[in-house]
């Protein structure tokens, strides 16, 4: 009996080890640079060994994808493309004729379909809250996830991804104490935050930074200028060879998923979005988004938020005139480690101040309530930065006139269900409790 009890206790660990096999990073999905909506990429990290292959089926026909590999310190990073997809597809990672890993993926949903998104920022820092949030996100059965910057703490390093991000967002099973197997079956998009692009200092040397440009594979349709090179000169050439044309172009991009056009922006203060070539790209991107239906902008730094933390970091307000001209419906961000929602608003006459704030003229839609009145007159700004890092502005905080809802005492994420005529937002705490909800309709 004791042996049976011990075996039952060890069985989950043994199964996890069997699934892990030679993997340093378990297989996970990426969008890649394709805009067709019919392809995905599978990425994984593994110890050096025999060649791999990916096996999957399309329309009843078996296919094999041969991966490419890059050598990182102590392991190889592999990736292979799955093409001509429609609906769900099972894939297997095979080595020496043996299936080491299997999962089910979903092709990006096409225009005209309903899609469920989970949105969250300020995530992987090794806390129990991060694991609880990942678990609750998994329970919602999302089609796609969006991480709103500060993907890993403290410095966007490869080692931090391996320690805090992949084990939680690609756990072998769903458990609030461990996380969930999201990444292997759910496509995630992301934008970088200040912690993802943090340069090393003399008192904090490391050579594995800027892992966002190594571990993510996203569209390269963004502007090619405007991002400063921080990578230390000693490791710059090796890093650029690994990152290829993803560095630095992948910091900003756009993609259509179902009926939502996502414009993903690097809002780092070092990027001057008042530069004509950057403003031109953003204006054109939002103009061409009219065919997608809904327009949502995702960035790390919120233009409008309440509270003390980061309140003076208002440089993203310099983009608001383009959001309004481009008919953006909602702007989602992180950076503040809490949840906030503004009234629909318009903002004009932006003027930079010496303390980092940006003053201007507000027009607030006080009639919109997201329940009875669902057609906003202006852009709604949502902060969803409660993904796992320590909370900001807990307790009583004075709300700015534009803020209609704030929850700073619970970690949470945003669930968005998008149809061609309706956006339904729900804010869900790490406990599973609903914090807020509102609807936007045409």
Predicted confidence (pLDDT) per residue in 271-292, tens digit? 899 999 999 999 999 999 877 8
- Answer yes or no: are the C-beta atoms of 251 and 263 closer than 8 Å: no
Q: Is the pLDDT of residue 12 over 60?
A: no
Residue 162 and residue 309 in one domain: yes
Q: Is the pLDDT of residue 16 over 90?
A: no
Helix (H) or strand (E) holding 437: strand 434-441
Cα 218 to Cα 398: distance, rounded to the nearest angstrom: 39
Q: DSSP string of 130-147?
A: HHHHHHHHHHT--SEEEE
Residue 343 and residue 254 in one domain: yes
Residue 292 and residue 309 in one domain: yes
| pLDDT tier at 236, thresholds 50, 70, 90 | confident
Mean pLDDT of 203-218: 90
Cα 231 to Cα 228: distance, rounded to the nearest angstrom: 9
Q: Is the pLDDT of residue 170 over 90?
A: yes
Which residues are CB-contacts of 207 (< 8 A; sequence separation ≥ 6)? 200, 232, 234, 235
Mean pLDDT of 234-251: 86
Cis before residue 350, ω within 30 degrees of 0? no
Helix (H) or strand (E) holding 8: helix 2-20
Cα 414 to Cα 386: distance, rounded to the nearest angstrom: 10
- DSSP 3-state assignment of 10? helix
Residue 336 and residue 386 in one domain: yes
- Answer yes or no: are the C-beta atoms of 377 and 342 closer than 8 Å: no
Which residues are CB-contacts of 330 (< 8 A; sequence separation ≥ 6)? 294, 296, 297, 379, 380, 381, 382, 423, 425, 440
φ, ψ of residue 314 in degrees (nearest 5): -110, 20
Is 76 inside any structural domain? yes
Alpha helices in 87-153 (DSSP H): 128-139
Mean pLDDT lowest among 8-17, 61-70, 140-149, 253-262: 8-17
pLDDT in tens, 43-57: 999 999 999 999 999
Taking alpha carbons only, the member of 241, 286, 225 closest to residue 261 is 286
Residue 304 and residue 394 in one domain: yes
Taking alpha carbons only, the member of 220, 215, 298, 228 closest to residue 253 is 220
Residue 192 and residue 235 in one domain: yes
Residue 206 and residue 325 in one domain: yes
Give the domain-ending residue among 106, 140, 155. Answer: 106
> What CATH number does the domain containing 410 carry?
3.60.21.10
Residue 407 and residue 362 in one domain: yes
Q: CB 121: neighbour CB atoms within 10 A?
A: 32
Cis before residue 154, ω within 30 degrees of 0? yes
The pLDDT score that the predictor gives to residue 407 is: 97
What residues pair up with 71 in beta bridges, in sequence order?
76
Mean pLDDT of 81-92: 96
Give the domain-ending residue among 59, 81, 106. Answer: 106
Domain count, the chain: 2
What residues make up the domain containing 33?
17-106
What share of the chain has pLDDT > 70, as a percent? 93
The pLDDT score that the predictor gives to residue 234 is: 67
Tokens of 70: 């890059």
Helix (H) or strand (E) holding 159: helix 158-160
Residue 262 and residue 219 in one domain: yes
Residue 310 and residue 163 in one domain: yes
Cα 362 to Cα 365: distance, rounded to the nearest angstrom: 10
Give the domain-ending residue among 106, 128, 143. Answer: 106
Cα 47 to Cα 165: distance, rounded to the nearest angstrom: 19
CA distances from 371 to 376, 415, 441 (A): 11, 16, 10
> What CATH number does the domain containing 21 carry?
2.60.40.380
Taking alpha carbons only, the member of 138, 31, 26 closest to residue 85 is 31
CA distances from 262 to 20, 117, 158 (A): 33, 11, 26
Is 38 inside any structural domain? yes
Residue 247 and residue 157 in one domain: yes
Q: Is the pLDDT of residue 18 over 90?
A: no
Tokens of 149: 């910057």
Is 5 inside any structural domain? no
Residue 56 and residue 194 in one domain: no
| pLDDT tier at 8, thresholds 50, 70, 90 | very low
Mean pLDDT of 348-364: 96
């Amino acid at each position: 009996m004791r042996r049976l009890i011990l075996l039952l206790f060890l069985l989950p660990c043994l199964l996890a080890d069997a699934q892990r096999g030679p993997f340093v990073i378990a297989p996970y999905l990426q969008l890649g640079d394709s805009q067709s909506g019919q392809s995905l990429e599978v990425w994984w990290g593994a110890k050096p060994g025999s060649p791999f292959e990916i096996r999957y089926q399309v329309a009843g026909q078996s296919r094999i994808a041969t991966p490419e590999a890059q050598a990182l310190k102590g392991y190889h990073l592999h990736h292979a493309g799955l093409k001509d997809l429609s609906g769900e597809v099972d894939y297997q990672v095979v080595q020496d004729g043996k299936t080491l890993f299997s999962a089910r993926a979903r092709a990006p949903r096409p225009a005209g379909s309903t899609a469920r998104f989970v949105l969250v920022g300020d995530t992987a820092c090794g806390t129990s809250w991060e694991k609880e949030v990942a678990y609750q996100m998994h329970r919602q059965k999302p089609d796609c996830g969006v991480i709103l910057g500060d993907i890993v703490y403290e410095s966007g390093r490869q080692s931090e991804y391996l320690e805090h991000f992949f084990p939680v967002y690609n756990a072998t099973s769903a458990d609030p104490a461990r996380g969930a197997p999201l990444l292997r079956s759910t496509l995630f998009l992301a934008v970088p935050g200040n912690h993802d692009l943090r340069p090393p200092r003399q008192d904090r040397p490391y050579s594995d930074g800027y892992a966002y440009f190594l571990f993510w594979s996203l569209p390269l349709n963004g502007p090619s200028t405007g991002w400063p090179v921080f990578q230390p000169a000693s490791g710059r050439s090796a890093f650029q060879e690994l990152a290829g044309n993803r560095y630095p172009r992948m910091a900003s991009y756009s993609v259509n998923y179902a009926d939502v056009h996502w414009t993903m922006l690097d809002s780092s203060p070092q990027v001057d979005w008042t530069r004509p070539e950057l403003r031109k790209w953003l204006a054109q991107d939002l103009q061409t988004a009219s065919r997608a239906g809904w327009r949502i902008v995702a960035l790390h730094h919120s233009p409008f938020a309440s509270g003390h933390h980061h309140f003076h970091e208002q440089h993203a307000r310099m983009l608001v005139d383009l959001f309004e001209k481009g008919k953006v419906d909602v702007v989602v961000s992180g950076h503040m480690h809490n949840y906030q929602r503004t009234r629909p608003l318009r903002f004009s006459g932006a003027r930079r101040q010496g303390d980092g704030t940006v003053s201007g003229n507000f027009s607030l839609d006080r009639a919109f309530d997201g329940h009875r009145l669902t057609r906003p007159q202006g852009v709604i700004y949502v902060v969803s930065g409660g993904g796992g890092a320590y909370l900001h502005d807990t307790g009583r905080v004075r709300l700015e006139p534009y803020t209609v809802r704030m929850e700073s005492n619970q970690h949470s994420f945003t669930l968005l269900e998008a149809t061609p005529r309706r956006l339904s937002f729900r804010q869900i705490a790490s406990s599973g409790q609903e914090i807020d909800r509102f609807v936007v309709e045409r």
